Amino acid sequence: MKDLLHIEGEFLGELGVVDWGYTEEATPKSFDRFESWVEKGNHGPLGYLSDHRKDLRKSLESVKEDFQSALVFLFTYAPEKAALEKLYQSEKSNGLKVAGYSVSFEGNDYHYKIKEKLEEIGKTIGKPFKISLDIQPVLERDLAYRSGLGWFGKNSMLINRKKGSFNMIGALLFEEKLPISSREPETDHCGQCTACFDICPTDAIDLENRQIIANKCISTFTIELFKDNVAPKGYNDVGEIFGCDLCQDVCPWNKRMDREEEYKIDSNWPSFSSNELVDFFLTRPPIQIKEELEAMSNKAYVRKFKGTSFERTGRLGLLKNLKKFFTL
């Protein structure tokens, strides 16, 4: 194995990794809470969380039978998110908003880009590995928590003390233990703050249990429901058309990054110079977007947005999300 310390240097920074940790624990610490959440029905329409895959989340051995250890990485999209906020404040903005991750990673679906980055890290380490992302039956935020990368915020997000929550989690699973020290789990630093709960227009945050009520969540409605559905009460008061960052936007652990030089960028940041998603959805009159989507076939939509986060929701899903802007 190559010098493991190498992955701490510029190599990881160039891949967008802002923090990483190590764990040998296969079992999530929060599985009982997850199971209770599902039993209450708070997973809503997210059936993949309640079917046979639910119990697979009890251990990483369900993903890698001979699991012994994991390296867990936080891939940031905070710079792109900062650029997006600048765009919203500019004359270019049409008033529509999307989740920051959806237009980050060079406009690609983050699963593809993070998989590429994890493969590159794994090859550098030189040990047999298996990639773990949120497409597998893994409680990835718990895995990051066990690795000392943050704590569960009151909005259920993993919050890193230095890098906030605008990060995606990816991991490498190994069949042997590595010569790396594990961190202690991060303590809770939310204190008495309820900013995320207070800002949520649909009351989707279960403050006591630090969980999301999926049926009320704007992200669920705008991303996971592909056909016309009744919107959660309060959704019509916001401009979100794909995902939602409201609870993260007000988090003090994300606000503090506004003062850091690496995030002080303008809306002309290179990531947006050729971003078709930004050009199509965020800078044109909403009526023009609606009319173009209506005239487009489903196959044409898939061809246009293939490989992006917006491919998942589909043409009809986006029209559903835009509907409120044209209701008299």
The 3-state DSSP class for residue 174 equals strand
pLDDT for residue 34 is more than 60 = yes
Q: What confidence score (pLDDT) does residue 228 get? A: 77
pLDDT band at residue 271 under the 50/70/90 scheme: low
Can you tell me the mean pLDDT for 109-113? 96
Please, are residues 91 and 293 in contact by the beta-carbon 8 Å criterion? no
Around Cβ 256, how many Cβ atoms within 10 Å?
A: 12
pLDDT in tens, 39-64: 999 999 999 999 999 999 999 999 99
Q: What confidence score (pLDDT) does residue 262 get? A: 55
Q: What confidence score (pLDDT) does residue 136 get? A: 94
The 3-state DSSP class for residue 36 equals helix
Token pair 């409680």: residue: 139
pLDDT band at residue 1 under the 50/70/90 scheme: very low
pLDDT in tens, 283-297: 999 999 999 999 999
Q: What is the mean pLDDT of the chain?
A: 92
Give the burial string for 101-132 (b: 16+ CB within 10 Å, else e).
bbbbbebbbbbebbeebbeebbebbebebbbb
Can you tell me the mean pLDDT for 304-311? 96
Beta bridge partners of 160: 164
Can you tell me the mean pLDDT for 135-163? 97
Of the CA atoms within 13 Å of residue 99, those in its CB half-sphere come to: 24
Q: What confidence score (pLDDT) does residue 93 get? A: 95
Can you tell me the mean pLDDT for 128-147? 96
Can you tell me the mean pLDDT for 27-41? 97
Please, are residues 58 and 28 in contact by the beta-carbon 8 Å criterion? yes
pLDDT for residue 4 is more than 60 = no
Of 134, 237, 245, 279, the catalytic one is: 134
Can you tell me the mean pLDDT for 12-34? 96
Q: Following DSSP, what letter does each residue of 267-326 receive, concatenated?
A: TT-GGGTT-HHHHHHTSS-HHHHHHHHHHS-HHHHHHHHTTSTHHHHHHHHHHHHHGGGG
The full set of domain ranges for the chain reads: 4-85+108-174, 195-326
Q: Return the CA Rg of the chain.
A: 20
Around Cβ 297, how many Cβ atoms within 10 Å?
A: 9
Q: Are strands 97-98 and 240-242 parallel, antiparallel or unpaired?
A: parallel
Can you tell me the mean pLDDT for 17-40? 97
| Alpha carbon separation from 28 to 135, 145, 210, 266, 275 (Å, rounded) | 17, 9, 16, 40, 37
Of the CA atoms within 13 Å of residue 101, those in its CB half-sphere come to: 20
Can you tell me the mean pLDDT for 92-102? 96
The 3-state DSSP class for residue 218 equals helix
pLDDT in tens, 198-214: 999 999 999 999 999 99
CA nearest neighbour of 199 among 271, 157, 248, 130: 248
The 3-state DSSP class for residue 39 equals helix
Q: What confidence score (pLDDT) does residue 229 get? A: 81
Q: What confidence score (pLDDT) does residue 43 get? A: 96
Can you tell me the mean pLDDT for 114-127? 95
pLDDT > 70 in the chain, percent: 91
Instruction: Give catalytic status of residue 134 as yes or no.
Output: yes
- Angle of helix 298-305 relative to helix 310-322, nearest 10 degrees? 120
